[in-house]
């Protein structure tokens, strides 16, 4: 993680989830400043990725890959909270490739990352061996680990404080058949954690990093939003489905929940902004998708074209 971000985290603070580190609106394409503080004024910007799959280089069209994500984020003219919704590693890659992935994520400056099948397919021991290299927090509230390193490192939530605002971040994953990993119903676990973040810790914004998939059969991010009561924003992953904008869904209390899913392999990055007034009430919302590999000057004019073309290819192949 860059030294400016480390300075920010020291000054603004991450509160403990269990031990050391421990959660009215509508949406497409633009960016550019160095990331050195989470927000400007009372705005909180959230940059999201998912399903990076240890993709380092861009594809044949020059899009995606962690190197392009790093370049795009370095050109940003607004700072923000950087999160990933899981499957940042790839199952079949070498340890060297995984370590390079983690190194690039540290340089990009991720604050919170959830875990998916790709990470846990390494086994508890294999994944735990990579944790000392990570300068970002791992969050998940519906897995319990028998391995002591994972149990200590993966927190049910973190809370980030900045300029009088509290942002709570939790994560959730699908049912897995991994020895020593206990699974809890993700809707139940997320609601319990989000309620604690909002009601007990007084978080102004609660974010869930979901590896459930956008619309999978058993558990999914859409149903999670609809079954929730205290989640404000869901960054979804575990699916290559391309959305052309954020979805505004209603939770069980008929309040708005923003659901956004970025593109796999670092191709599409979500950028979401929430604005607050002096009473910490949300008064502003904006969402757009950025294409890693498009020049800053081309984002506004070309990002929607790239998204449309990618969506058309996906429909053709489905």
Please provide the DSSP assignment of 11-55 as one string. HH-EE-SSSS------------S---SSEETTEEEEEEE---TT-
Dist CA 68 CA 108 (whole Å): 10
Question: Residues 15-35: what's their mean pLDDT?
Answer: 26
Least confident of 108-117, 197-206, 288-297: 288-297
Least confident of 15-29, 178-192, 218-232: 15-29
Q: Which residues pair with 51 in a beta bridge?
A: none
Q: In the chain, how long is the greatest CA-to-CA distance?
A: 50
Position 10 scores a pLDDT of: 29
pLDDT above 60 (res 8) = no
Q: What is the CATH number of domain 3-317?
A: 3.60.21.10
Position 12 scores a pLDDT of: 34
* CB-based contact 165:279 (threshold 8 Å): no
Least confident of 186-195, 267-276, 288-297: 288-297
Dist CA 50 CA 267 (whole Å): 10
Position 311 scores a pLDDT of: 66
pLDDT band, residue 317 (cuts 50/70/90): low
**Which single residue is written with the structure tokens 């603070």?**
13
Position 38 scores a pLDDT of: 47
Neighbours of 175 (CB within 10 A): 16
Position 298 scores a pLDDT of: 75
Q: Which residues pair with 81 in a beta bridge?
A: 46
pLDDT above 50 (res 173) = yes
Strands (E) across 93-184 are located at 112-113, 137-139, 143-145, 154-155, 157-162, 165-172, 181-183
Assess whether the previous peptide bond of 207 is cis (omega < 30° from 0). no
Position 41 scores a pLDDT of: 57
Domain ranges in the chain are 3-317
Position 316 scores a pLDDT of: 54
pLDDT above 60 (res 17) = no
Dist CA 27 CA 77 (whole Å): 20
Mean pLDDT of the chain: 83
Position 252 scores a pLDDT of: 96
* CB-based contact 108:76 (threshold 8 Å): no
Tens digits of per-residue pLDDT, 56-84?
Answer: 999 888 889 999 999 999 988 788 999 99
Dist CA 54 CA 91 (whole Å): 9
Closest CA to 119 of 238, 253, 264: 238
Tens digits of per-residue pLDDT, 220-247?
Answer: 999 999 999 999 999 999 877 777 778 9
**Cα angle 66-69-73, degrees, rounded to a multiple of 5:** 140
Tens digits of per-residue pLDDT, 255-292?
Answer: 999 999 988 899 889 999 999 988 898 888 899 889 89
């Amino acid at each position: 993680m860059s030294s400016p971000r480390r300075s920010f985290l020291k000054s603004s603070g991450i509160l403990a989830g269990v031990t050391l580190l421990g959660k009215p609106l509508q949406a497409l394409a633009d960016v550019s400043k160095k990331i050195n503080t989470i927000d400007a004024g009372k705005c909180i910007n959230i940059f999201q990725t998912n399903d990076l799959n240890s993709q380092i280089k861009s594809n044949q069209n020059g899009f995606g890959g962690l190197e392009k994500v790093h370049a795009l984020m370095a050109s940003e003219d607004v700072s923000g909270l950087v999160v990933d919704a899981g499957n940042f590693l790839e199952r079949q890659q070498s340890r060297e490739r995984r370590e390079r992935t983690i190194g690039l994520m540290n340089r990009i400056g991720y604050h919170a990352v959830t875990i998916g099948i790709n990470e846990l397919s390494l086994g508890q021991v294999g994944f735990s061996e990579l944790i000392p290299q990570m300068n970002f927090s791992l969050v998940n509230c519906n897995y319990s680990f028998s391995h002591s390193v994972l149990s200590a490192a993966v927190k049910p939530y973190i809370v980030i404080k900045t300029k009088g605002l509290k942002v709570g971040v939790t994560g959730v994953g699908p049912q897995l058949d991994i020895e020593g990993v206990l699974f809890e119903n993700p809707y139940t676990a997320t609601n319990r954690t989000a309620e604690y973040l909002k009601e007990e810790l007084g978080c102004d914004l609660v974010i869930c990093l979901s590896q459930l998939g956008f619309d999978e059969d058993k558990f999914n991010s859409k149903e999670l939003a609809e079954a929730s009561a205290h989640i404000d924003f869901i960054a979804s992953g575990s699916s290559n489905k391309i959305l052309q904008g954020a979805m505004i869904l209603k939770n069980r209390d008929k309040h708005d929940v923003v659901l956004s899913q970025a593109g796999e392999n670092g191709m599409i990055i979500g950028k979401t902004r929430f604005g607050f007034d002096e009473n910490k009430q949300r008064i502003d919302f904006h969402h757009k998708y950025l294409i890693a590999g498009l020049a800053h000057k081309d984002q506004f004019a070309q990002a929607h074209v790239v998204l449309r073309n990618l969506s058309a290819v996906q429909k053709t192949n489905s």
